[in-house]
Amino acid sequence: MSQELSVVGKRLLRPDAPDKATGAAKYTGDMKLPGMLIGRVLKSPHAHAKVLDIDTSRAKALPGVKAVITMADVPQKPFNRNLLTLARPSKAEDKSRDEFIFNPKARFVGDAVAAVAAINDSIAEEALKVIRVEYEKLPAVFDPLEAMAPNAPRIHDYAERNIASHILYPFPKGDVEKGFEEADYIVEETFVTSKQKHCQLEPTACVANFDSGGRLVIRSPCQLMHLAKRQLADIFDMPEGMIRWLTPYIGGGFGQRLSLTNEPICVALASKAGRPVKLEDTREEDFLMRESRQPFIETGKLGVTKDGIIVALQSRLIADAGAYFTHSGLTTFVNMLNFMGLYRCPNLACEADVVYTNTPISGGMRGYGNPEAIFALEQLIDMAAEGIGMDPLEFRLKNIKREGEPSPSPSIPIESTALHECIRVGAERIDWKSKRATKKGGVKQRDVGMACNTCGSGAAPAFLEHANAFVKFNADGSANLVVSPCEMGTGILGVLAQIAAEELGLGSEDIHIVTGDTDITQFDIGSHASRSTYVIGNAVLRAAREAKEKLLERAAKLLEVPARELEVRNRRIFVPLHPDKGVSVAEIVRNAIYNFQGESLNISGRCSFDPGGSRPFLATFVEVEVDTETGQVKVLKVVMVPDCGRAINPTSLEGQLEGAAAQGIGYALTEDFVINTDSGVLISDNFATYRIPTTLYVPEIEVVLVEKPVPSGPFGARGAGELGMMGMAAAIANAIYNAVGVRIKTLPMTPEKILNALKTK
Amino acid sequence: MKKQIANFVVNGEPYEVVLDPRMTLLELLRDELVLTGTKYGCGSGECGACTVLVDGNPVPSCLILAVTVRGKKILTIEGLAQNNTLHPVQKAFVECGAIQCGFCTPGMILTAKALLEENLNPTRQQVRESLAGNLCRCTGYVKSVDAVISAVEEMRRGGATS
């Protein structure tokens, strides 16, 4: 087989880009259906309160109001909005199903209590104002450590001391106590990560209506639509086949859309009103009612020999779930896997408590526990290196795992890693040696820092991971590709088209992608865990291969040569040694469809693919400047060196890493989710108070691709969606320490914290 | 409040609307005129997703009452391409890979267009300063700045059509 690729590896334009550039791209909030009503949600103003009584009579009487619903009007089935729970074997009694559409007890300021649908937004707002709710206020607790105290208010009946779950690291090794005894140097430190918000530009929206057949049609930007359909069917006790889930263009996800959001309320309103309903979040509601990144208190301990070998690694985690469980168990699990699994170490132990608090709900955000783990781990690495007098870069090179060793999911060995090279390349690009050696002086101090990490390409074996793809040829020789990723800006549609085109010998413009409709697409989890390129890409490759085989079979008959002697390239099937002996793809396809010899066929191929795993790696280097008078940190330069196997589309890959780097800079330095600790009211509920990086805050980012194709990936590719997020905060923390000698262990690393640390140094 | 008949000029087209004086320009565009390319991102003028040009100047349409821009020249993203030909800034955003989820894109493209019509030789820093009011969560801005710089060439060659 020829190794020269014509489509894969090229910086092709994304198929969705032109629509987005002209405003033609339609997002959920742009949808307008005849008779559509506007929904609004009434939220609890109290952080912890029983809902005793709701009087909706005045709201119902308002002209223009078509539906008012409370807990009495909706199914009383408890659920966990986290859709990934459906992708794991279910347990008979699952305590994580701890919420209802409207909860009889509000557990955070913003918990939904009632909803209305009216002919316009103003009337809906008016209706909310005249709903009378009688609350019985309860004492509330906002800090996880306080929540675990013996006399803390009980948030969920089943959870003593508000501990939702105690989790042990499932793959312990050796004996950490003995390991620490053998260590020459031990570092132990506690790190606190923050409740970062996804801040995807498109606020949550949903349009629900029941069509003439009584089927429920939902339009929503969910990342996991096949799972969402099932979850919704469960909650409303309706057959899943009566639900059709459509996904218009999605304005960013980053993990905000791994759960049901406002769909249940929207569906309940549509059902009550008998008309389509659009329910959209305001930006304030997005901050308040939608999930955030999981905050952790992580106490990590690392033991190392004087020769720089890690001998023991231990961690104790407290995960702040917020008011409901959602993703908290899973993000904790991912945190543990990545903390324990990045470096070679014979003695490992870790345990965690997931704790409820009366705060807005924690969920999963890009990295899903991994960046949080890395913030702790990669600083401990630097601290240990300093303790034994070794360059932290050399220390990492000594301890990172090689091919064949267990990955963070220990049953899956590392298929391929170029991390050593990534570190060396990055160090050179940022000029590590000379910048570290340059001695400082003056008010503004500069230095460099680094971090490395891995992440998943899919979440096998822990999660259901199979992907389904279908390719069918059209009579003109183009092909339709039916797949179900979630295109939320990652560029996955273009990548999948490139994979299909390469295999089929077509141009990527010949691939028409059909997606975003559960009536047409076969089961796929959707986009999470950076799985789309690796897992869905593999399904696409194999589906295309099956179609290609049928194509070649027909061509073989026509050309009277064995199929194995044929190749497809540039829309033509030919014999490589006699290229003029060939036929166009279009002709073969057309003659198969319009076949009057009794051999008709619409050539197609499909594949249901169940993956193993192959993890990408990343080395992140940053240069910072710290102003010792103001405490402000300026990130001067970022160098990211990923090993993602082959880049199917280098521009898209760079875009994912650059975007993740910017999110990492915000996570590290400016993004602070602030709650009033007397009332539980969210203070940082808009972009003025919650600061995400602007063009002035993100420096030039250099992405250097180290391409080492992996055998199990489609054309050697692995995932990359989350990869760039993991190391930024740690790299910046390490750089700050290198520059001014203070180590900030809580996020965000604000000027105040740096100044305080400098004062007490 | 009493509604009134109001006249608007959007993308060169005249519109007559029964206007509620409380209506913002964003609501007028999206709900009344069904020009949904302009987006609601925050409602408080912070994110730039609602940016349109009024008499050539970028404004946050979520903070402007529609009644105040009657008769003014309003340009939305839908009005930028002419005769199925993309404006150089649109073309550059597509070609430089500066578009990911696309939600910030209309606002960013219009802001960039306004910048280049005022200054056809901006530095990268000047581009960053001009786009500082357009938040993007996907791209990290690297390729967005590349795109604006790359549009300069074509605009110099007279590629701009409006």
ipTM value, please give it. 0.97
Name which of B22, B46, B140 is nearest A662 (Cβ-Cβ).
B140
* pLDDT tops 90 at residue B158: no
Model pTM score: 0.97
Non-local (6+) Cβ contacts of B24 within 8 A are: B61, B62, B63, B64, B65, B66
User: What's the order of all strands across the beta sheet hosting A310-322?
Assistant: A163-168, A348-356, A310-322, A296-304, A185-192
Contact A202 B101 (CB under 8 A): yes
A53 burial type by CB count under 10 A (0-12 exposed, 13-18 middle, 19+ buried):
exposed
Alpha helix positions (H), B6-141: 25-27, 88-95, 105-118, 124-130
The reported pLDDT for the residue numbered B162 is 46
User: pLDDT-derived band of residue A328, with 50, 70 and 90 as boundaries?
Assistant: very high
CA distance A228 to chain B (A): 21
d(CA A601, CA A597): 11
* Residue A214 to residue B108: CA distance in whole angstroms: 42
Q: What are phi and psi of A709, to 5 degrees?
A: -55, 140
Residue A2 reports pLDDT greater than 60: no
- Tracing tokens 């309706």 back to the chain, one arrives at A238
How high is the pLDDT of residue B159?
A: 55
The minimum CA-CA distance between A201 and chain B, rounded to whole Å, is: 6
Which residue type occupies B65?
A: L
Which of chain A's residues have a Cβ under 8 Å away from the Cβ of B33?
none
From A525, A164, A148, select the one nearest A362 (Cα to Cα): A164
Q: Least CB-CB distance to A659: which of B38, B49, B138?
A: B138
**A683-716: pLDDT as tens digits:** 999 999 999 999 999 999 999 999 999 999 999 9
Confidence of residue B160 (pLDDT cuts 50, 70, 90): low
How near does any CA of chain A get to the CA of B35, in Å? 8
Task: Write the pLDDT tens digit of every residue in A177-186.
Answer: 999 999 999 9
State the average pLDDT for chain A: 96
Tell me: the pLDDT tens digits for A648-660? 999 999 999 999 9
What is the chain B residue with the closest CA to A702? B142
- Categorize the per-residue pLDDT at A643 as very low, low, confident or very high, splitting at 50, 70 and 90: very high
Mark out the alpha helices in A163-252 (DSSP H runs).
Answer: 176-182, 225-236
The predicted model gives A578-607 an average pLDDT of 95
Residue-level pLDDT at A612: 85
Q: What is the DSSP string of A703-723?
A: E-------TTSGGGB---TTG
- For A144-170, write each residue's pLDDT tens digit: 999 999 999 999 999 999 999 999 999
pLDDT, tens digit, for every residue of A603-630?
Answer: 999 999 998 889 999 999 999 999 999 9
Using an 8 Å CB-CB cutoff, list chain A residues near B84.
Answer: none
> Band of the pLDDT at A294, cuts 50, 70, 90?
very high
The DSSP bridge partners found for residue A244 are A217
Contacts of A414 (CB under 8 A, 6+ apart): A401, A402, A403, A404, A405, A406, A407, A615
Residue B150 has what pLDDT? 96
- Rounded distance between C-alpha atoms, residue A57 and residue A130, angstroms: 9
Q: In this complex, how many residue pairs, one in chain A and one in chain B, have their CB atoms less than 8 Å apart?
A: 173
> Which residue of chain A comes nearest to B99, CA vs CA?
A17
Question: Residue type at A678?
Answer: D
Neighbouring C-beta atoms of residue A434, cutoff 10 Å: 9
- Whether residue A636 is predicted with pLDDT greater than 90 in this model: the reply is yes
- Per DSSP, helices labelled H in A165-280 are 176-182, 225-236, 263-273
Please calculate the CA angle A535-A541-A545 and round it to the nearest 5 degrees: 150
pLDDT > 90: what percent of chain A?
Answer: 94
Distance from CA of A365 to the nearest CA of B (A): 13
Interface test with A, best of B53, B84, B103 (most A CBs within 10 A): B103
pLDDT at A116 exceeding the cut of 90? yes
Chain B hits for A684, Cβ within 8 Å: none
Going by C-alpha positions, the residue among B86, B159, B102, B161 that lies closest to residue B134 is: B102
Query: Once rounded to an integer, what is the mean pLDDT over residues A389-393?
Result: 96
Contact assignment for A22 to B37 by CB distance below 8 Å: yes
